Structures are given as C-alpha cells and as structure tokens.
Amino acid sequence: MDVVTAFLYPKIDGAVLMEPPPGIEWLDPGFGNKVCLLQKALYGLKQAPRLWFQEIDATLNKMGFIQSLADSNLYTSKKVILILYVDDILIASLDIDLVESTKKQLYSYYQMKDLGPVRQFLGLEIYREKHKLTVRQSNLILSVLERFGMSNCNALGTPMETARRHRHTVKDTSCNNPTRVRLFMQQVTNYLRGCIRLSV
C-alpha cells in the first residue's frame, strides 16, 4: 500500500513561515513582500517525516495496532503484521479477510494506492509459491559484485577447493588495496549478518 501525498496529512505543530513560491504574483501584485504561514507539512520540510510518523502512529493506535518495542516501524494487531517505510505500508496475515479489513480502515483515513501482492520491499525480493514464501537479496548481491569488479566470477558451492593444498602466491593485484578489500569484506559481512544498509 502507498499513501498518496502522505506528508500533506499532518498539521504543523509550530509556526513555519515560507517565502511565496515563484509565479504567485499574478494573484496579487503586492504578494511578493509577504510570507506564507504553513498549515500543513510540505515535502522537503525538515519536520515533515516526523509529523507524518506521528500522524500514522496515532491512526494505527486508533485501529488497535500495537507498536513493537524492537522496531518502531513494526505494528501488530490480532493476526495482522503491518510494516511502515515512510509512506509505504506492508500488510501481512494468514487471513486475507483481515488484510482486506485493515486496508478498508486505512482507506477511511488516507487516500491510498493498493500496489497488489508484494514483490519487492526495502531491497528484499519476495517470491510466492503455492505454500511457500521465498525472500532473496539477489540485486544486493549483484550490486556488491559489480561494485568490486567481480560480476563475472564463477560461483562455487564452497569458497575454495577442499582437497587441494594451496600455496601462498597472489597474482591478482586487486587484493593488494587494503581499503578495497576492507570495504568488500564489510559488505559481505553485513549481508551475512542479515543487515540491510539503506542510503536515505
């Protein structure tokens, strides 16, 4: 689910003044000397994300959802799990009727777009089969490999041959740059730990 113009829903909790936008002079020739007092948050306003989160949090509390102590963007109610990411909402439940009733409740508060069954969320690729849900991060892995010039490497079941003795000779000079090796190992370690690094 996607909330349309989410940042325009909450009211501003203090006085915020703004220069009039260009092109408004045709309404009133003397308007250029005045300022606008904002009543609603705008995209790009520093406090807009915080105000939106307070707004959606209050709405979800009214609907009976409880915020998780482990993650402030995770809410639960009865047999429904709801995850927020700015203006995107992921609703999950084993009971499709509960998902639909949650959507109807949200529609009564906000103008929303139903994007259908989730296929991708926060870099996770989600595949549905009959009785199985698979979550992958193939795009993340490919982008890390491309970033370090390893996209044409051959995949193996184990990182090195197990029956062969190796000598310590390095012909590849790309491993001689300690910063590059450290960055690569950091990204691989973060992936293995299950961390998702987001640039916001």
Instruction: Give per-residue pLDDT as tens, 147-197.
Output: 888 777 776 666 666 666 656 555 555 556 667 777 777 777 776 666 444
**Has residue 58 been placed in a domain?**
yes
**Has residue 167 been placed in a domain?**
no
Same domain, 66 and 134: no
- Which tokens belong to 48? 């807009």
Residue carrying structure tokens 């807009």: 48
Same domain, 7 and 95: yes
- Which tokens belong to 87? 């203006």
Is 138:146 a contact under the CB 8 Å cutoff?
no
**Has residue 42 been placed in a domain?**
yes
Same domain, 127 and 94: no
Question: What domain count does the chain have?
Answer: 2
Same domain, 43 and 131: no
- DSSP one-letter code for 154: P
Which residues contact residue 99 at a Cβ distance below 8 angstroms, ignoring those fewer than 6 apart?
80, 91, 92, 93
Same domain, 94 and 140: no
Same domain, 184 and 93: no
Same domain, 70 and 99: yes
Q: What is the pTM of this model?
A: 0.62
Helix-strand-coil split of the chain, %, nearest 5 = 35, 20, 45
**Has residue 163 been placed in a domain?**
no
Q: Is residue 113 classed exposed, middle or buried when 0-12, 13-18 and 19+ CB atoms within 10 A define those classes?
A: exposed
Same domain, 138 and 196: yes
Same domain, 67 and 129: no
Same domain, 143 and 82: no
Same domain, 33 and 72: yes
Question: With a cut of 70, which residues of the chain have pLDDT below it?
Answer: 24-32, 155-178, 191-200
**Has residue 161 been placed in a domain?**
no
Same domain, 50 and 81: yes
**Has residue 147 been placed in a domain?**
yes
Which of 83, 111, 139 corresponds to the end of one domain? Answer: 111
**Has residue 106 been placed in a domain?**
yes
Sign of CA pseudo-dihedral 87, 125, 146, 164:
positive
pLDDT at 198: 42
Domain that includes residue 30, residue range: 2-111
